[in-house]
Structure 1
């Protein structure tokens, strides 16, 4: 088999596996909730419950909470990658894949590429909900698109970490519990829902040590200026670094399991 044919088969196998994982998301209510129901519920609940207390009214609170919910949703959607991989390993479906004439890496690659579409749906849902509540960023449509792309990329880069967790964990329950703990810790100990200056000194230090704080700050800057700021470039580099470090580790763990 020549190189071009091998690449073509890898692409088709990966696309097939990605489609399979998307179907699993659609037919699994828990996975579907991560990308559709959760961002809508959190945006409405946090916006109308805390908007008046934190910013005086919901409209003034939306520039704070929309980027926060967007990134929280990216974390939640990305964490689903590890759970799905672990479930497939536990069910033995990966053993069946090994008997098929497909690329060895296609099941893993299909999962990670399916995550891009899941993250895209989650980002659109988050931003559309904020817009329906009256959020109007100064950057206009261009800033919304750029911020969404940055959020999706960061979410996809984090998917590699959760995929590695899924490959190393003993069962799907462990992956889900650990992923939920990571998501809640990173999102709530940041500037996602409140200004950091309102926190105590100790909590401010913790929030500034949280990388998600800088991701949210970068997205807020894009939405207010319509341009890629210095913080946004740092966040982009951060995402690339995650992929460079964790992609080989995830492939290694995948080969060890298969």
Structure 2
């Protein structure tokens, strides 16, 4: 893949930051988007070809700022990475938590892709949606998050089919749990659910291999591939395993503890 202009949302921390570092190593030009300027500026200072664009992708004004910038630079790859990871018992989930998760994880990628579509068509570029294994395997106590990633996966499939005649590729990347600031929000569940957390750098390197190859989707190179296959072919097996997990007293206690946090 020759040098591309790459826009990454949620670039200041976590997977977004690691994606930017890996893209810079590969020689791409970067547009770093995030709500807070300081992490973006700090990141850009260590990269070779990066510009900073503070913007809130959940608002029309923020997306308009991004679209105006892209008109000037052109765009080859849009990486919809910004997201939140709500967790806890669904019975204690508040309306504003649901709305915020769907606004950032679902509505923003759809709207931003629409707003940047003309530039992507000109370059015959690529949309990359950062999903999750939880977008294939719906986990108890992550109901809202799983719903948002199922939606993003569906959007990716539909978008891929719609834009193929115009030469625009769509790649859906589904990592498993990753060691980021967002993971602190569900830290109580990591032990009881026996989760394995990957390093953001490993996730980013794996994602960029899929992006470079313009793959349809990328799952983690771990046992989760088998679980996804079972989910698609024998969902009852996954149901039994996760219902058993949801009944575990340690998991219930951890989820209740998360739900009681302010």
Where is the helix percentage greater, Structure 1 or Structure 2? 1
Q: Same fold (TM over 0.5)?
A: no
State TM-score, norm by structure 2: 0.31
Structure of greater Rg: 1
Where is the strand percentage greater, Structure 1 or Structure 2? 2
State TM-score, norm by structure 1: 0.31
